[in-house]
Amino acid sequence: MRVEIINTGTELLLGRVTNTHLEFIARSLLGLGLRVERQVTVPDGVAIAEALEEAMARADLILVTGGLGPTSDDITRDAAAEAFGKKLIFHREILDGIAAKFARRKIQMNDMQRPQAMVPEGGTYFENHNGTAPGLTVENDKTVAVLLPGPPRELRPMWADQVLPWLRTKFADRLSPFHEITLRILGVGETRVQMLVEDEVKALGPIEVGYCARSGEVDLRLIASEEKLVAKAADLARAKLGEAVYAEGIETMEQVVVRLARAAGKTVATAESCTGGMVASRITNVPHSSEMFRYGWVTYANEAKITELGVPPSLLEKHGAVSAEVAQAMAEGALRGSHADVAVSVTGIAGPTGGTPEKPVGLVYFALATKTTKTQTLERNLSPTREIFRPMATQIALDLVRRALV
């Protein structure tokens, strides 16, 4: 069964917005055993109809995002109805629902909302609990298209609550799951991973091995139709790679940290300079992180390191803010101030300015303090590009916490 995605929206092709729909939908479809074979982004306009016609020639299921709203550039509904040769039928109950939403917010509904109540003949619709435009389906003998609203906050709940169950029923007799395990690896290079793993994994049986490298990390992807084979391959890879494997599947580093800390009943505190709150923000992005995270400091200025974390001024004078000594004092200060079980600190030079020949942009020190062990420090030279440096430094800080919690 072939699945394609069409993302519509001039703003995507102008680079105004990151397209996160592919990522979200593809992950979700994997659970049905469906892989997205192609994704295309087209601007608002005639290109939508063209892309639909091309996809209809190949695909069984087409997921279209965007262009369902009330403004003049929203033409996906019309383009899809035309491509499938279906009339649009007015559904009074949809317009009534939109009117009720406006009424609740004490705003007068205007006529521009009306096109959102049109549904292609023979199709169904999905209510939009976070906006006005409903999702729609339109189909012919060969292909089903599902039209979804563009804003993620509208699309995502609609997808999870309504579209996914509908797809499950609609294609019940055509879903043939396959099995996939992705191991997420920090600190071992891409070719090194391949050399350690690929030959032995492939000797196990028919299995697809893929690699995805990014910012100091590698994802190792194992796919096969047999579940046991994938599990065996993953075990083998884990044995070869050891603690460098920080997660499996879509679990993120911060999710691992929160999970391990909660399971161990331990709390974590953060003391950040160059990452400026990104470590805390990543941790607190995880639901239930309040059980294991209570205190974080963003001590961007030297003065803040002194007054908030008790870093001795003499240490700052002697070694500079970017030093193993100050990192250690920051982590220990955070541990004292928070009564946490584990505290991590980061201090470095994110750039673009502030570098010297001895301490270039990209240099960073970490420290990990716990109630029971000697404080550990780590020096790394990361990318001199600020937008790469900060996430990498954040990831390494989280990894130190993870290793302390394993």
DSSP assignment of 195-245, as one string? HHHHHHHHTTSS-EEEEEEETTEEEEEEEES-HHHHHHHHHHHHHHHGGGE
- For tokens 């919690």, name the residue: 405
Q: How far is the CB of 343 from a copy of itself (least distance, A)?
A: 13
- Which span (149-157, 310-318, 371-379, 395-403) binds a copy of itself, by CB under 8 A? 149-157
Q: How far is the CB of 265 from a copy of itself (least distance, A)?
A: 15
Do residues 299 and 271 lie in contact, with contact meaning Cβ atoms separated by under 8 Å? yes
CB nearer to a copy of itself: pick between 79 and 123: 79
Among 134, 135, 296, 333, binds a copy of itself (CB under 8 A): 296
Binding to a copy of itself (CB under 8 A) within 246-275 occurs at 250, 270, 272, 274-275
For 97-130, letters b (16+ CB in 10 Å) and e give bbeeeeeeeeeebeeebebbbbbbeebbbbebee
305-311 long-range contacts (CB < 8 A, ≥24 apart) are 305/273, 305/329, 305/330, 305/333, 308/333, 308/337, 309/271, 309/333, 309/334, 309/337, 310/336, 310/337
Q: Going residue by residue from 57 to 86, which x/- string records binding to a copy of itself, judged by CB under 8 A?
A: ------------xxxxx-------------
Q: How far is the CB of 321 from a copy of itself (least distance, A)?
A: 10
Binding to a copy of itself (CB under 8 A) within 346-405 occurs at 350-354, 383, 385-388, 390
Binding to a copy of itself (CB under 8 A) within 164-193 occurs at 180, 182, 190-191
Among 114, 221, 240, 336, binds a copy of itself (CB under 8 A): 221
Among 32, 47, 99, 231, binds a copy of itself (CB under 8 A): 47
Do residues 71 and 151 lie in contact, with contact meaning Cβ atoms separated by under 8 Å? no
CA-CA distance, 346 to 281, in Å (whole number)? 14
| Under rule CB under 8 A, residue 198 binds a copy of itself | yes
SS3 of residue 399 by DSSP: helix
SS3 of residue 50 by DSSP: helix
CB nearer to a copy of itself: pick between 70 and 320: 70
| Under rule CB under 8 A, residue 115 binds a copy of itself | no
| Under rule CB under 8 A, residue 35 binds a copy of itself | yes
| Under rule CB under 8 A, residue 152 binds a copy of itself | yes
Binding to a copy of itself (CB under 8 A) within 303-322 occurs at 303-304, 307-308
